[in-house]
Amino acid sequence: MSTDAPAAPPRKKRHVWRWVGLAVLLFLAWFCWQLLGPNPPIIVSRETTYITEPLGSDGLPDYKQYLLDKYREGVTPENNAAVLLLQAIGLDEDDEEKEHLAYLASELGLAQIPDEQQTLPTILCDANRQAIADWWNELHGAWGDSDAAITDRDDVIYKVADVAMESPWTSEQIPPLADWLHKHQQQIDLLVEASNRDRWYWPLDADGEESEGDKLLEYTGSFQLAREAGRALEVRAFWDIGEGQSDDAMRDLMAMRRLARLTASQGGVIDNLGFVPKLV
């Protein structure tokens, strides 16, 4: 019989678990540092971004200034179609702050923004609306004072304007709009002249800072010009057709097409909505 004592089980190596625990803690510390710690500096190069200049105060690409410089390149008051559109149509000062208009004039090379006495009123301006209502009243009787009558009055005004923009018509058929065209022939001719220019530049911001006013000028300024230019040329083109002036109608239609291309050349989504002609 053996007298040797039974072999004792090997003792656990606790120091191994200590190393495992330390490794886990180090991993968690590294993970938290990567998640919550400061970001590493960004090295501006073609490896990180296509645009490497100009740089802003934070050392990163100034994308807004890049676009401004790109759109301004080679643009002068003499080749920029936006200058003539602004001179022909103007902007509603009630919608734009004066300092924004001053910045816009400076960017486009104008001494000042033309006032409403020098520019083309819209087809649905107050004067045209009243003239259409008075003409219709003479043909069909009084409107009355009820709310329904007022609604009918507005419906007629819009329908008359739609007819002028959708089908040939004559001075005899819609005298108020014929008077509007004759009175503002010079401004509409400016639109045709603008279409023969080869550049379109409209500043992205009103004063170089991010603000609600900047967005207003960017998104409504060029859109307003393009939309009203399209409407004016469209109305006159259909009037030309109705009056048997086919060459003049083709002139206005081609001007619409050229201006549509120009206003869309800056690449903004809103710019592409400026011209929505109904001519087919």
pLDDT 10s digits, 159-177: 999 999 999 999 999 999 9
**50 Cβ contact list (under 8 Å, min separation 6):** none
In a domain, 5, yes or no: no
Distance, CA of 39 to CA of 107 (rounded, Å): 38
In a domain, 98, yes or no: yes
Q: Name the DSSP class of 274.
A: S
What are 244's two structure tokens? Answer: 């048997």
In a domain, 89, yes or no: yes
**Bigger pLDDT: 262 vs 249:** 249
What pLDDT score does 140 carry? 72
Q: How many residues does the chain have?
A: 280
In a domain, 218, yes or no: yes
Where does the pLDDT of residue 184 fall: very low under 50, low under 70, confident under 90, or very high at 90 and above? very high
Predicted confidence (pLDDT) at residue 26 exceeds the cutoff of 90: no
Burial of 5 (0-12, 13-18, 19+ CB in 10 A): exposed
Q: Residue 55's beta-bridge partner residues? A: 61
Where does the pLDDT of residue 204 fall: very low under 50, low under 70, confident under 90, or very high at 90 and above? low
Where does the pLDDT of residue 4 fall: very low under 50, low under 70, confident under 90, or very high at 90 and above? low
Burial of 175 (0-12, 13-18, 19+ CB in 10 A): middle
Domain that holds residue 105: 63-120+196-228+262-273
Proportion of the chain above pLDDT 90, given as a percent: 27
- Lowest-confidence pick of 78-87, 132-141, 199-208: 199-208
How many domains is the chain partitioned into structurally? 1
Predicted confidence (pLDDT) at residue 111 exceeds the cutoff of 70: yes
Nearest to 240 by CA among 169, 166, 188: 169
Q: Residue 199's beta-bridge partner residues? A: 80
In a domain, 253, yes or no: no
Predicted confidence (pLDDT) at residue 213 exceeds the cutoff of 50: no
Residue with tokens 């004067």: 127
In a domain, 213, yes or no: yes
What are 220's two structure tokens? Answer: 């409504």
Q: Name the most confidently modeled range: 144-148, 153-157, 254-258, 269-273.
A: 254-258
Q: Do 142 and 136 touch, CB atoms closer than 8 A?
A: no
What pLDDT score does 7 carry? 56
Averaged over 63-69, what is the pLDDT?
80
What are 81's two structure tokens? Answer: 């179609």
In a domain, 178, yes or no: no
Q: Do 45 and 55 touch, CB atoms closer than 8 A?
A: no
In a domain, 40, yes or no: no
